[in-house]
Amino acid sequence: MALTPPSRTAVFIDKDGTLVEDVPYNVDPTLLRFTPRAPEALQALAAAGHLLVVVTNQPGMALGHFDRKAWMALRHALMRKVEQEIGVQLTDVLACPHAPSPRHAPGCLCRKPAPGLLRQAAATHHIDLRRSWMVGDILDDVEAGHRAGCQSILLDVGHETEWRLSPLRRPAHRAGDLLEAASWVLRTHHPDDAPQTQVCATAS
């Protein structure tokens, strides 16, 4: 029997600095604050039929700043906050718990800029990565999206400091906040569109 091809589209969203204000190693739900115009962005994307998936690096687990139980409590609080305050649902919140690997050492497959979290979400939720988008505030997010086969948008809000550019790290668009990124997605792509040519999917 032939497998049904993935048909759903998603917008993958970085957590800290993109969806919520960046509080280093935070697992306190009371400190969760949406970035400017993030609620309107999620509402617009959900109304257009996109799944909303948060993908985040959380090295604080590996570094001993908090444990998995604390992270799962924050994850639940974030999903509840989005549903209660914004009126939409996050399809999933996926985290890489690993610390950065030493320079030139092999890393895990899930820490962005690796595409593992996006591919995991695609397999779980039947997402067509070629018609999906990644939005984040640093170029590692952009690269992760491209490695997964998505198009990528950079929130150019001052959080990227190294600017190591390459074809995989070149965003399709730069936005000032999440709503501007959402508007770009909605202007250029609709969930019912035919699949697009894969962008920067092959890593060097």
Which one of the listed residues 14, 92, 141, 177 is annotated catalytic? 14
Catalytic residue flag (residue 28):
no
Q: Which three-class secondary structure state does DSSP give residue 183?
A: helix
Q: Is the peptide bond before 113 cis (omega within 30 degrees of 0)?
A: yes
Q: Distance (Å, rounded) from C-alpha 1 to C-alpha 146?
A: 31
CA nearest neighbour of 175 among 162, 159, 190, 191: 159
- Judge whether 101 and 108 are in contact, CB under 8 Å: yes
- Judge whether 105 and 77 are in contact, CB under 8 Å: no
Q: What is the DSSP letter of 30?
A: G
Catalytic residue flag (residue 22):
no
The pairs formed by 169-175 with CB atoms below 8 angstroms and a separation of 24 or more are: 169/113, 169/139, 169/142, 169/143, 170/142, 170/200, 171/139, 171/142, 172/199, 175/135
Q: Which three-class secondary structure state does DSSP give residue 10?
A: strand
Q: Distance (Å, rounded) from C-alpha 178 to C-alpha 88?
A: 15
Give the catalytic positions in this structure: 14, 16
